A and B are shown apart, each in its own frame.
Chain A
Amino acid sequence: MDNLAPHVDYIAVSVIVAAAFIYLICRCRKAFSKAEGDCCGGKCGSKKEGQ
C-alpha cells in the first residue's frame, strides 16, 4: 500500500501521542484530587455525596 504523506503521518501520530500524555497527566491529577470518589468494583454511575 502507498505510504501516507509524511506530514499527515506526522500530524496524526503527534495528536494521538499528545492526547495519550495529556490523558495520563489528567488521570494522575484526578486520582490525587481529594474530591475524587472511588470508581472501583463497578460502583460508578451513581451520585455519591461526601461525608
Chain B
Amino acid sequence: MLRIALAGNPNCGKTTIFNSLTGLRHKVANYPGVTVEKKEGVSSLPELGEVTFIDLPGIYSLSAHSVDETIASKALLGTLKNNGGKVEARLDLLVSVVDASNLERNLYLTSQLIDLGVPIIIALNMRDVAELRGISIKSELLARAIDVPIVFMTAKKKPGISELQIEIVKLLKSPRLPKTSYDWLPADSLYADIASRLGELELGHKGSAAILLGSALLSEASIPDNAEVTKRRPEMRAELQKLSVDPFSFEATARYGWINSIVKQSVTFTDPNKKFLSDKIDRVILHPLWGSVIFLGIMTLIFQSIFLWASVPMDLIDGLFGSLSNTVGLFLPNGMLKSLIVNGIIPGVGSVLIFVPQIAILFFFLGCLEDSGYLSRAAFLMDKIMRRCGLQGRSFIPLLSSFACAIPGIMSTRSIPSFADRMTTIMVAPLMSCSARLPVYTLLIAGFIPQKYYLGFISLQGLVLLSMYLLGVAAAALIAWLLKFSLFRGEPALFVMEMPPFRMPVFKGVFRDIFDRIVLFLKSAGTVILACSIALWFLASYPQGKIENSYAGRIGAAMEPVIKPLGFNWEIGIGILASFAAREVFVSSLATVYNIAESEEGDDESKQRGLISVLKEKRASGNFTTLTALSLMIFYVFACQCMSTLAICRRETGSWKWTGVMFAYMTALAYGASLLTYQLGMRILGHG
C-alpha cells in the first residue's frame, strides 16, 4: 500500500488535515505538542485505491531532541523500525504542512524534507490566519521558486482538502522528485565524504545521510548508530572549522539564506508593525498579576458551573434509573436474577451514569480553553511557578491533559527533551484530578456539603470541588520539588513555546470532543463498571445471610483495622479496593453494597432513591460523617487507584521500578493525608 506522511512544525494543522483525509477523529487543539506518536489511517483515493496516511509529531527540524521528535525524525529519515525490528518501508510521498502565517520558520523543515529525495507537496495551511495578519502570499510564485506543488488552504475548510487530495493523486500517478540542493554541504570535506558513504551503504540516500550527520555534529544525543560517525565526529568538526565553516550553524545559515530569497519574491506584508487583537489580549492575559487573577477566575467559573448547570440533568437521570429499577422489580419474578439486576446492575451502573452531565460540562470548558489558544498562555504564566518546583513550562501541557485523564497526560511528556524533567512530570501527573475522580468528589460533595452561597453566587460545593483540584496541584508541586532535588537532579531546561494566535473555539470540534468523552464514559459504564457491579453483587450476596458475613463483608472486615483510623468502614474499603479497576467503580460499588444491605432489611423504598439521598440519610443518622467524606475525598485526590495509569507508566518509563515508586508514594501520601484529616478533625470536634 502506498505510504504518505504528513510532516510539519508543531501546531501547523497536520492532525486536522490527517483527520479530514482519513475520516478519523484524532485529538486536535490550538497548542503545540498535541500529537506525540505516529498515527496511521487508511483512506481511499480516486484511481489509486487505498493508501496509508501517516500523521507525525510536530518538529522544527530533523535534529531530534525529545522522544516525540525522534519518532518523527526517524520516520522521515527512513530509520524507524517497526514492531518486528525491521526498518519501515520507504515513504512514497511527503506532505509538508506549512503554517502560512509563519512561513520562514516552517520552510526550514520543508527545505530538509526536499533534500530527502521523496516526492513532496506543500500544504500551505492557515490561509485564513495569514490573511487576517495581512500576509499576502503569491503561492504560484512560491511553488515555482521551490519547484514543488503547493496547495494554499485552510484545513478546516473542505475545498482546500479536496484540492490537496487531487494534487496527491496527480503526484502519486506520475511521481516527480523535488529538485534537491546540497549547496549547504561543505564540498570535498570529510563530512561530505562520510555523508556520501552513509547514503550509499546505510540509508540509501545522500540527503538523509547528510542531514542525519548534521544532527550528529550538532548534538551528542542524536548521533546515529554508526561507529565511524561516533569516532570521527571531533575530526569532522575540526576539519570544518579549518575550512572556516561553523559545524554548528552552517546548515541553518545556508537554509535560511535560501528561504529568505524565496520569501522576498513571493510574500508581502501589509503592515509588519501592526498590533493584532491577539497581541492586545496577550498584554492583559500574560500580565504577571492580572494574568494569574484571570486564570484563577476561569478555574473558579468552571467548577462553579459543574455544580450549577449539572443539577437538573443529574436529577433527571437519577429519577430515570429509580423508575427503571422499580419497573424491572415489578416485572421480574423473585429470585437471584432479580436481585442481581435490581440490587447489583441498575444501582451500580446508574449511580455512575448520573455524572455524565458534569463530565460534559468539564470537557466543554477544557475544549474551549484548548481551542482558543489560552492554554499556551496558561503554560507561560505557570512557567515561573513551575520552575520554582523544579519543573518547566513544557510540563504544563502534560499536567493539564491529566485533568482529563492521566494516560494522555503521561504520553504527552514525550515532548519533554530532558529525562529528569520528563520523569518528574510522569511521577506527578496522576496527582492532577482526572475526570474519573469527578463522580467520587461530586457524590460526596452533594451528599455531605451543604448548598450554601457566598456573595449570592459562589457556591460552597463548587469551592470544595475546586479545593480538591487545587490540593492535587499543590501536592504535585511539592512532590516535583522533592524529586528534582533528590532522584532527578538537574536544572530545568529553558522553556520556549510558540504562542498560537487567539481564535474563537470551533464549537463543532468542542462538541465532538464532548461526545467522544461521553461515549468513552458510557463504554466504561457498559464494560468495567457493569462487570464490577456484577462481581460485587456476587461477593456481597454470598454466602447468603447477613451482608457482613458475605465474601465482600469478610474482605472488608480484614481491611478494617488498616482503614479504620482514616474513618472508613468495610463498605468504603470494598469500594476503594474495587476502584482500582477504574475510580468511578467506587461510586457503583457503594451503590451496590448499600442496595443489597437495604434490601436485606426489607426496605423496598431504597430502590427509588439515588445514592446521594442514601448518603444524606446516613449522614443524618451518623453512620457516615462529613469528616469521613472529607477524609475519603482527600484519599482519592492522592491515591493511585488506576490500573491503566500504572500500565502506561510502565510503558513510558520502561521500568517496573518507577511504576512501583509511583504507586508506593501516592498510596503513602493518600493514607497519610487522609489519616491526618480524620484524626485532626476528630480532635477539633472533640471526639479524639
Binding site for B on A (CB under 8 A): 1-4, 6, 9-10, 12-13, 16-17, 19-21, 23-24, 27-28, 31-32, 34-36, 38, 40-43, 45-51
Contact of B643 among A1, A2, A31, A45 (CB under 8 A): A31
Contact of A41 among B80, B520, B531 (CB under 8 A): B520
Q: Which residues of A contact B646 (CB under 8 A)?
A: 32
Contact of A46 among B40, B335, B528, B648 (CB under 8 A): B40
**B184 CB → nearest A CB, Å:** 29
B581:A1 contact, CB within 8 angstroms: no
CA distance A43 to B22 in the complex (A): 14
CA distance A24 to B71 in the complex (A): 34
Binding site for A on B (CB under 8 A): 22, 24-27, 37-42, 71, 80, 82-83, 331-337, 340, 404-405, 407-408, 411, 513, 516-517, 519-520, 527-528, 530-532, 534-535, 537-538, 581, 643-644, 646-648, 650-651
CA distance A16 to B531 in the complex (A): 9
Chain B's closest residue to A1 (CB) is B333
**B664 CB → nearest A CB, Å:** 17
CA distance A5 to B428 in the complex (A): 55
Chain B's closest residue to A51 (CB) is B71
CA distance A40 to B408 in the complex (A): 7
Q: Which residues of B contact A17 (CB under 8 A)?
A: 340, 534-535, 537-538
| A38-B411, A40-B405, A51-B71 known; A3-B333 Cβ under 8 A | yes
A16:B535 contact, CB within 8 angstroms: no
A9:B651 contact, CB within 8 angstroms: no
CA distance A46 to B40 in the complex (A): 7
Chain A's closest residue to B581 (CB) is A24
Find the residue from A23, A40, A49, A50 having the highest chain B CB count within 10 A.
Answer: A40
B82:A50 contact, CB within 8 angstroms: yes
A16:B27 contact, CB within 8 angstroms: no
CA distance A34 to B494 in the complex (A): 33
Find the residue from B334, B337, B537 having the highest chain A CB count within 10 A.
Answer: B337
12 pairs, CB–CB < 8 Å, chain A vs chain B: A17-B535, A21-B535, A23-B531, A24-B581, A31-B643, A31-B644, A32-B647, A35-B83, A40-B520, A41-B27, A41-B516, A42-B517
**A17 CB → nearest B CB, Å:** 5
B24:A27 contact, CB within 8 angstroms: no
Q: Which residues of B contact A28 (CB under 8 A)?
A: 581, 643
Q: Which residues of A contact B651 (CB under 8 A)?
A: 34
Q: Which residues of A contact B411 (CB under 8 A)?
A: 38
B513:A42 contact, CB within 8 angstroms: yes
CA distance A47 to B42 in the complex (A): 8
B334:A3 contact, CB within 8 angstroms: yes
Give chain B's interface secondary structure class: helix
Chain A's closest residue to B527 (CB) is A23
B581:A27 contact, CB within 8 angstroms: yes
Shortest 5 CB-CB distances between A and B: which pairs? A42-B516, A20-B534, A40-B407, A20-B531, A9-B335
| A41-B27, A42-B27 known; A32-B650 Cβ under 8 A | yes
Contact of B404 among A2, A13, A21, A41 (CB under 8 A): A41
Q: Which residues of B contact A31 (CB under 8 A)?
A: 643-644, 647
A46:B24 contact, CB within 8 angstroms: yes
CA distance A1 to B407 in the complex (A): 48
Find the residue from A9, A17, A34, A45 having the highest chain B CB count within 10 A.
Answer: A17
Q: Which residues of A contact B537 (CB under 8 A)?
A: 17
B41:A16 contact, CB within 8 angstroms: no
CA distance A36 to B646 in the complex (A): 13
| A27-B528, A38-B407, A51-B80 known; A4-B27 Cβ under 8 A | no
Chain B's closest residue to A41 (CB) is B408
Contact of A13 among B333, B340, B581 (CB under 8 A): B340
| A17-B538, A27-B581, A42-B517 known; A12-B337 Cβ under 8 A | yes
**A35 CB → nearest B CB, Å:** 8
CA distance A27 to B80 in the complex (A): 31
A13:B82 contact, CB within 8 angstroms: no
Contact of A43 among B27, B527, B534 (CB under 8 A): B27
Contact of B331 among A1, A10, A40, A43 (CB under 8 A): A1
